[in-house]
Amino acid sequence: MDIDPTIFWLGLAQIIGVNIVLSGDNAVVIALAARSLPPLQQKKAIFWGSAAAVALRIVLTIVAVELLRLPYLKLVGAGLLLWIGVKLLLPEDESENGGGASGSGLGAAIRTILIADLVMSLDNVIAVAAAAKGSLLLLVLGLAISIPLVVFGSTLLLVLMQRYAFIITIGAGLLGWVAGEMAISDPLIKETVDAQLPWLHFAGPVAGTALVIAIGKWRRAASHSTVPEPAAANADPSSNRNN
């Protein structure tokens, strides 16, 4: 029951370190999902999204080893990540939020963060579980301490995305890359890929990245083309009144 203090602190440091290294893509998702919200709700989405994601990761750690042995799970997860990557490239998420209810916008952002973190954490939590060496206390403490680090990373990325729009495309492309890696590592096809199609280890992530960016930009262009220009819409009524 007792844990040697040296082992405890070493394990805690390992968990925090592993979580920092593996949480870069999670911070990208959080920043992307929160970017279209009002400033106050951005802070709420980042905090609650990060906290819920860490809590979810604790639960996943207990079952991840068995889950990752199931065929099709990673293929489904890869599909979800591709969908999320495309969705996050759309401006303001017009089709779902309609620019109206701010509460539903915050809820939608947190939902997106949780779904993406659920998918991306299946591999990550194994490393965290190994560092915890079977100690639930170490696991919970390490992940809880990591929350402010993820929040800081997400906040910094959010500021950068507001200044440099190309970072949004890079972030969505990163999700496509992770999706490609996940798909080719599914137990259903992993042995075949390793033995006969090793080039897919590079081609798969590249294809995922290209797919997300291509579909996202196409849908963004399509959404812009269907929105009537304000000037054209207002020109006739004003001219009629003047005449």
**Residue of 151, 189, 182, 152 whose CA lies nearest to 85:** 182
Element (H, E) at 12: helix 5-22
Please check the confidence at residue 127 and state whether its pLDDT lies above 70: no
Q: In the predicted model, what is the mean pLDDT of residues 41-62?
A: 78
pTM of the model: 0.62
Per-residue pLDDT reduced to its tens digit, 143-165: 677 667 777 777 888 888 878 88
Question: What pLDDT sits at residue 98?
Answer: 43
Is the pLDDT score of 181 beyond 50? yes
CA nearest 26: which of 125, 92, 108?
125
For residue 77, give both structure tokens.
Answer: 């997860």
- Answer whether 65's CB lies under 8 Å from 129's CB: yes
Q: What contacts 147, CB < 8 A, 6 or more positions away? A: 50, 51, 54
